[in-house]
Amino acid sequence: MKRFISLLMALLVIPIASAVPTEIEMHWMGSGDFETHFNFDDDSETHFWTGGNDISGELYATDSNDNPYTYGVDTNEIKVRSHVENGGYIEYVFRKTDNYEPMYGEAGQESYTYISTSDTGDFAWRSWSNYAQLRNSNYGWQNDNQIEATGEHYIYHHFYIDDSYDEGATLEVMAEGSTSITDMCEDHWGSSYKFGKGCGCYTNANVYIDGSGTFELNAWAENEIVTDTGIHITGNPHYIVYADFDDEFEFENFALEGN
């Protein structure tokens, strides 16, 4: 069977002055596979893949070329919405590759999401980075239901603050039915991170699954983990929530922070 994908791309590159941003806008619709990759002057990088019988979406990338405080690291932003129907996958990674190390430590922070489904899948996300931080701030872009799937599906998401993957948090769902994950904000500062909260926004972090399957949340930190549900663990902690369910599952607030 012939596979077809149509792609519309608008590319604006105007390097007139260092303060003029580089902006890229992409739209896709059709069947087959689509991928795109960005390296923002070695400050951050983004990789995105999707494929299936019926796929559509949009992606906006901005390198501000602003070099705040002449630290040698620009402000970057990615905004993406992606949809698949009748089976498919969505995969996204945003990785911070440079930091102003004398004050803010090493880079290597990473946001990653993968969705595989026999039916529908949806992903809406915004990542932002500068000389000190990586933020996933979805407020104003999509406040709720950033990660969704129906049918037989697998969802994995992580937010790590070091390239050795020692500190951070993960969400994992394997289910048949429908899953909706709201994870409005995540951020980090130095060796501390917030998962499901942060960015100066109200907390909006929940999971609703109608169907059968498994859910797992993991978090690791060097010193302590504090959850919004009142759990406090110290001493190189590992926090885990696991559920095996036949009908439905609900986690009203999974937000936590670690350092």
Half-sphere exposure of 215 (CA within 13 A, CB side): 21
Q: pTM for this structure?
A: 0.92
Given this model, what pLDDT does residue 163 score?
87
pLDDT along the chain (259 residues), means of 10: 41 51 97 96 97 98 97 98 99 98 96 99 99 97 98 99 94 99 97 96 98 99 98 98 98 98
The stretches of the chain forming alpha helices (DSSP H) are: 101-104
Give me the residue spans of the domains in the chain: 5-258
**14 vs 215: CA distance, rounded Å:** 46
**167 vs 185: CA distance, rounded Å:** 17
219 is written with which tokens? 């978090």
Given this model, what pLDDT does residue 130 score?
98
Those residues whose C-beta lies under 8 Å from the C-beta of residue 95, and which sit 6 or more positions away, are 44, 45, 46, 108, 109, 110, 111
Given this model, what pLDDT does residue 19 score?
74
Given this model, what pLDDT does residue 213 score?
99
Given this model, what pLDDT does residue 13 score?
42
Distances (CA, A) of 117 to 32, 140, 156, 172: 15, 27, 12, 14
Given this model, what pLDDT does residue 6 score?
44
**Cα angle vertex 166, ends 112, 41, to 5°?**
50
Any idea what DSSP says for residue 102? H
Given this model, what pLDDT does residue 146 score?
99
